[in-house]
Structure 1
Amino acid sequence: MNAAARPTTSRAELTAVIKRARNIMRKDPGLNGDADRIPQLSWLLFLKSLDDHEKSRELVEDDYRPVIDEPFRWRDWAGPDVSKPRTGESLTGFVNNELLPHLAGLRGLARQGRERDVVAQVFSDVHNRMLSGYLLAELVEQIDRVNFNSSDDLHTMALVYESMLKEMRDSAGDAGEFYTPRPVVRFMVDMLDPQIGETVMDPAAGTGGFLVEAHEHVKTKVSSVQDRERTRGTIRGFEKKPQPFLLGQMNLLLHNAHEPAVVRGNALLPSLTEQKDDGVDIVLTNPPFGGEEEASVVKSFPVGMRTSETSWLFLQAVMARIDRSRGRAAVVVPNSTLFDKGIGAAIKKKLLTEFDLHTVVRLPNGVFEPYTAIPSNLLFFEAGRPTRDVWFYELPLPEGRKKYTKTKPLRYEEFADLATWWGSPGAGTERREDRTENDHAWTVPVEQIVERGYDLDLRNPHQADSLENRPVAEILDELVEVEKEILELLQGLRAEVGSGARR
């Protein structure tokens, strides 16, 4: 049956397929928990989705040459029309000794160059962990039931993909990785408003959430073949871990991103000069919080700006990427970024002196639950001019709520008032000229921030003076002063007791 005639997959059927696939994998002694099962399912789904995608292109492009050649295409060894289906040792032998080494060794040639390089990167760390070739054959049969090549099935695939990401996110906190909620991603993309032809980068791409959202945003503006051509290669990124990289590539593939240039590697390895020369128009990212980089990476940063704290290094890298192109950025940062002193203050000085940090969105508690309870903020800044004033906007919790939870997460609709207050999305100060202060928004002159030692952890002056609304640094300073006073009182009492004893 050809790609055009094959029926779509209903959501109910797809749910049943994935359930059966997971049950099959649970029986295999080579797979221990989701840490093994999710990667196994992911690379097989990637090959199936790529093959369906290529079948679709072959129908409309007379000179199209598949990225993967015979006999390594999914249809050649796993599809329903295979004359001699493999199973048992024949299947595991083919997969382990022929298929995976071939895919990992692909090199770019002619028009398929970039796609082949991507496949090679994806499969450079892929291993078949299933020991039973019979169970693997059953799993392949289930995956082959999913049809990826119709627009309806893209919506259906979202169920599979979200299910996998949910499983991945639920176990990600232990590794210090936190995935950005979709409403936050969408808001950040909408406010930066990527245009046709603009390059968009995420230096910590993960599973591709920002890049896919940016692609979908730009796609709504495309109205001609020429527009489509101008989007070629404008999606860029880095991801150094193999599993998120694989899922991100599949995500971009399924959304028909036009030759995305996402590399498996560490975005912090190039020097800041190299990153500046390789600039982009837009950076959207949620870099790792609290991580540490190896010494060789830290040494590539300027003296006085060196730190092993990953989020500070990424912030410098983002500034370098948008500087040459006079671009714009939106970055998720923890509260500590706002009040950190020392090297943190030096980096913030550079940010305020060389860039326009025009908006800081203070997110409410629990936005990143259950992965982390760390309070977070969104920094929006543009290259080409220094900061004069910083607008702060405190996104409120829904009435009656104290925090977001796993079962009651943030919704995109809750950004509506902020989006209205924002002004016109996109680049340029003129788009934000009509902003006014309200219960949630206030502006601070840059001179005041400089006087505070580049402390951006500023409380909302329109809200009650409660511990919940006060900056962490301010509370800590007061606690230190109280402790000092207590210590002085104790020392005084101790002196009196000593004096009495001598009398």
Structure 2
Amino acid sequence: MALNIKSLQDIMRQDPGVDGDAQRMNQIIWILFLKIYDIYEKRWKTASLLQGEIYESIIPKDLAWDSWAKSKNEQGQAIKEALSGDELLDFINNTLFPTLKNLTITKDSPLNQKIVKKAFEDTNNYMKKGILLRQVINTIDDIEIQSKEDKKELSFIYESFLKTLQSAGNAGEFYTPRAVTDFVIQMLEPKIGDKIADLACGTGGFLTSAYHYLESQIKTAQDIQKANSYFYGIEKKQLPFILAVTGFLINGIENPNLDHSNTLEIPFDALSDLETFDIIAMNPPYGGAETKEIQSNFPSEFRSSETADLFMAVICERLAQGGKAAVVLPDGFLFGNDTAKINLKKKLLDELNLHLILRLPKSVFAPYTSITTNILFFTKPDLTQARGTKQTWFYRLDMPEGIKSFGKTKSMKLEHFDPFIKWNTNRVELSDESGNFKAKSYSKQELESRDYNFDLCGFVSEEEEILEPFALMEQVRNERERLNHTLDSIMDKIAQIIKDNA
């Protein structure tokens, strides 16, 4: 079994209907999803027969993969009736897609059937040349998953496919490097039976890492069921949603509980009635803005034009008592002093336990963005625990020795977290050669006295670097916001001194 993504992209570059890597990935993924889903359906059908049951597919028989996609029989001979050219295009555009978009599902439909309709709700066929489309379908149809080695190989190829998102324009926002997702899950240490969520799951990296982390704990059929269905992901954009669904199937998650919608559309007052989660691991979108209508779902103290702030408000509500969370956020959240950020940081200190902020090297998400990010680790106390934060540790993870920056050809690896892992077994204050803190603990009172400015143990000296225009603009914007906060803080102190001495 082999899947050459580059050869598929080369075929699609000849088609006038497909423009850019994002559309090429979109085109590949809906075909790949149907192929992988067909492989699983054959397994589900066999398993049902062994149990004396009849498996009923949600996909009509005349739209099943073998009915239209296969062009060769088991002997490798060409099937004369195989659709191609304009006939294939007409079938896909006017029969296959309309049917899949309008499949009937109910709240009682199995998860592995709901995902079919959700995957195709906003999916489109971009190719305009049926002959080229037939070539793409034939290449994907050659995939087989007969062994663990096949599954491992396909998973590796698919992960490489996802990594191209980082350099595919704005699509990079949907992919979190696997080193980060694996590290976060190792820190959170989920157990079989934990309800694990990512409320803006993108391509599903955190949930996939969690599943693989739990695999060693699976002992019974009930464990398998929990490991499959105790995940919850929600993603509003079509491309990352279908990428997540397909990735879950490839990695062995047969019943992914995924919603194709927007977490932020739920009124904040209604969150208390919804399911809570034992583990929340997220890299929420930041730098963007939601509509005024979405913002109005939130109380004034959390209302913000920054998407990441709104997600933080939701995360705090939907984390279960005794639950653990890890959230990737940009520097702007740490030093920001607008109403929403101040109130969110106050909530983290007063009601939750913000025990660790890990500051990541700025190029972790390159080439998509060079914005410096951080991972906030916090818990929500249960009824037996005291509310609030006593102390918060800050740790700055420097670039590995010999590496100037991460990027398209040199991505972050799990072993690059080793210095932190070693430090985390015996947390002590650390300083660099310049005397600046690399690791330090701050009490709740110290953080409050800083007007909730959490910009501590950061990167204070960097080599000059030539950035891409948009990355430079973002850097200037962040630096301006940081300076504005500092000036505001100084002016407030001056005003207070004048008031005290009046």
Please give the range of the TM-score, normalised by the shorter of the 2 chains: 0.7 to 0.9
**In the TM superposition, what whole-angstrom CA distance separates every residue of 1:83-136 from its partner, at most 9, and x where no partner exists?**
721122221121111111111111236975322221111111122222222222
- 1:476 equivalent in structure 2: 483
- 2:446 equivalent in structure 1: 448
Determine if contact 1:108/1:114 at 8 Å carries over to the other structure: no
- 2:47 equivalent in structure 1: 60
**In the TM superposition, what whole-angstrom CA distance separates every residue of 1:392-412 from its partner, at most 9, and x where no partner exists?**
111122224443333333221
The answer as to 2:456 corresponding to 1:458 is: yes
C-alpha distance in structure 1 between counterparts of 2:20 and 2:486, whole Å: 45
Return the offset for 1:435. 3.2
- 1:313 equivalent in structure 2: 310
The answer as to 2:36 corresponding to 1:49 is: yes
The answer as to 2:102 corresponding to 1:113 is: no
SS at match of 1:378: strand
- 1:399 equivalent in structure 2: 401
C-alpha distance in structure 1 between counterparts of 2:112 and 2:226, whole Å: 18
SS at match of 2:357: strand
Identify if the C-alpha distance between structure 1 residues 226 and 404 changes in structure 2 by more than 3 Å, giving closer, same or farther.
same
Counterpart amino acid of 1:69?
P
- 2:435 equivalent in structure 1: none
- 1:327 equivalent in structure 2: 323
- Given candidates 223, 228, 243, the residue that maps to 2:219 is 223
C-alpha distance in structure 2 between counterparts of 1:474 and 1:24, whole Å: 46
C-alpha distance in structure 1 between counterparts of 2:119 and 2:263, whole Å: 17
Counterpart amino acid of 2:371?
I
Identify if the C-alpha distance between structure 1 residues 474 and 438 changes in structure 2 by more than 3 Å, giving closer, same or farther.
farther
Identify if the C-alpha distance between structure 1 residues 51 and 111 changes in structure 2 by more than 3 Å, giving closer, same or farther.
farther
- Given candidates 393, 397, 413, the residue that maps to 2:415 is 413
The answer as to 2:65 corresponding to 1:74 is: yes
Counterpart amino acid of 1:454?
Y
Determine if contact 1:106/1:116 at 8 Å carries over to the other structure: no
SS at match of 2:83: coil
SS at match of 2:285: coil
SS at match of 1:327: strand
C-alpha distance in structure 2 between counterparts of 1:169 and 1:186, whole Å: 18
Counterpart amino acid of 1:92?
L
Determine if contact 1:388/1:446 at 8 Å carries over to the other structure: yes
The answer as to 2:292 corresponding to 1:286 is: no
Determine if contact 1:292/1:309 at 8 Å carries over to the other structure: yes
C-alpha distance in structure 1 between counterparts of 2:137 and 2:407, whole Å: 37
Determine if contact 1:285/1:331 at 8 Å carries over to the other structure: yes
Determine if contact 1:178/1:372 at 8 Å carries over to the other structure: no
SS at match of 2:253: coil
Identify if the C-alpha distance between structure 1 residues 474 and 204 changes in structure 2 by more than 3 Å, giving closer, same or farther.
closer
C-alpha distance in structure 2 between counterparts of 1:454 and 1:276, whole Å: 26
Q: Superposition pairs for residues 169-318 of structure 1, below 5 Å?
A: 169-173=166-170, 177=173, 179-277=175-273, 278-318=275-315
C-alpha distance in structure 2 between counterparts of 1:300 and 1:478, whole Å: 27
C-alpha distance in structure 2 between counterparts of 1:35 and 1:477, whole Å: 37
- 1:436 equivalent in structure 2: 428
How many residue pairs are counted as aligned between the two chains? 453
C-alpha distance in structure 2 between counterparts of 1:405 and 1:213, whole Å: 22
Gaps of 5+ in 1: 1-8, 424-433, 485-503
SS at match of 1:379: strand
C-alpha distance in structure 2 between counterparts of 1:167 and 1:478, whole Å: 36
- Given candidates 33, 37, 44, the residue that maps to 2:24 is 37
C-alpha distance in structure 2 between counterparts of 1:325 and 1:347, whole Å: 18
Q: Superposition pairs for residues 78-97 of structure 1, below 5 Å?
A: 78-79=69-70, 80-81=72-73, 84-97=81-94
Identify if the C-alpha distance between structure 1 residues 150 and 275 changes in structure 2 by more than 3 Å, giving closer, same or farther.
farther
- 1:128 equivalent in structure 2: 125
Structure 1 stretch displaced more, 112-121 or 258-267: 112-121
Q: Superposition pairs for residues 359-374 of structure 1, below 5 Å?
A: 359-374=356-371
Give the structure-1-normalised TM-score: 0.83
Counterpart amino acid of 2:67?
D
SS at match of 1:71: helix
Determine if contact 2:101/2:120 at 8 Å carries over to the other structure: yes
Return the offset for 1:29. 2.1
Return the offset for 1:479. 8.6
C-alpha distance in structure 1 between counterparts of 2:162 and 2:323, whole Å: 31
- 1:350 equivalent in structure 2: 347
The answer as to 2:3 corresponding to 1:14 is: yes
SS at match of 2:190: coil
Structure 1 stretch displaced more, 251-260 or 46-55: 251-260
C-alpha distance in structure 2 between counterparts of 1:61 and 1:348, whole Å: 51
Return the offset for 1:466. 5.2
Identify if the C-alpha distance between structure 1 residues 346 and 112 changes in structure 2 by more than 3 Å, giving closer, same or farther.
closer
C-alpha distance in structure 1 between counterparts of 2:10 and 2:400, whole Å: 40
Determine if contact 1:53/1:149 at 8 Å carries over to the other structure: no
C-alpha distance in structure 1 between counterparts of 2:98 and 2:484, whole Å: 58
Structure 1 stretch displaced more, 128-137 or 442-451: 128-137
C-alpha distance in structure 1 between counterparts of 2:20 and 2:176, whole Å: 24
Counterpart amino acid of 1:76?
S
Return the offset for 1:159. 4.2
SS at match of 2:327: strand
Give the structure-2-normalised TM-score: 0.84
Aligned Cα RMSD in Å? Answer: 2.7
SS at match of 2:358: strand
**In the TM superposition, what whole-angstrom CA distance separates every residue of 1:426-460 from its partner, at most 9, and x where no partner exists?**
xxxxxxxx633334421111100001111111137
Return the offset for 1:70. 0.5
**In the TM superposition, what whole-angstrom CA distance separates every residue of 1:357-391 from its partner, at most 9, and x where no partner exists?**
00000112311111111111100000013101001
SS at match of 1:116: helix
Structure 1 stretch displaced more, 351-360 or 102-111: 102-111
Identify if the C-alpha distance between structure 1 residues 139 and 341 changes in structure 2 by more than 3 Å, giving closer, same or farther.
same
Return the offset for 1:473. 8.9
**In the TM superposition, what whole-angstrom CA distance separates every residue of 1:12-58 from its partner, at most 9, and x where no partner exists?**
x433xx34433322222222232332211110111011101222333
C-alpha distance in structure 2 between counterparts of 1:68 and 1:475, whole Å: 54
Identify if the C-alpha distance between structure 1 residues 37 and 359 changes in structure 2 by more than 3 Å, giving closer, same or farther.
same
C-alpha distance in structure 2 between counterparts of 1:250 and 1:105, whole Å: 20
C-alpha distance in structure 1 between counterparts of 2:337 and 2:311, whole Å: 17
SS at match of 1:194: coil
Determine if contact 2:302/2:344 at 8 Å carries over to the other structure: yes
Identify if the C-alpha distance between structure 1 residues 252 and 311 changes in structure 2 by more than 3 Å, giving closer, same or farther.
same
Return the offset for 1:150. 3.4
C-alpha distance in structure 1 between counterparts of 2:482 and 2:96, whole Å: 59
Structure 1 stretch displaced more, 41-50 or 264-273: 264-273
Which has the higher Rg, Structure 1 or Structure 2? 1
The answer as to 2:150 corresponding to 1:148 is: no
Counterpart amino acid of 2:333?
T
- 2:13 equivalent in structure 1: 26
Identify if the C-alpha distance between structure 1 residues 25 and 473 changes in structure 2 by more than 3 Å, giving closer, same or farther.
closer
SS at match of 2:395: strand
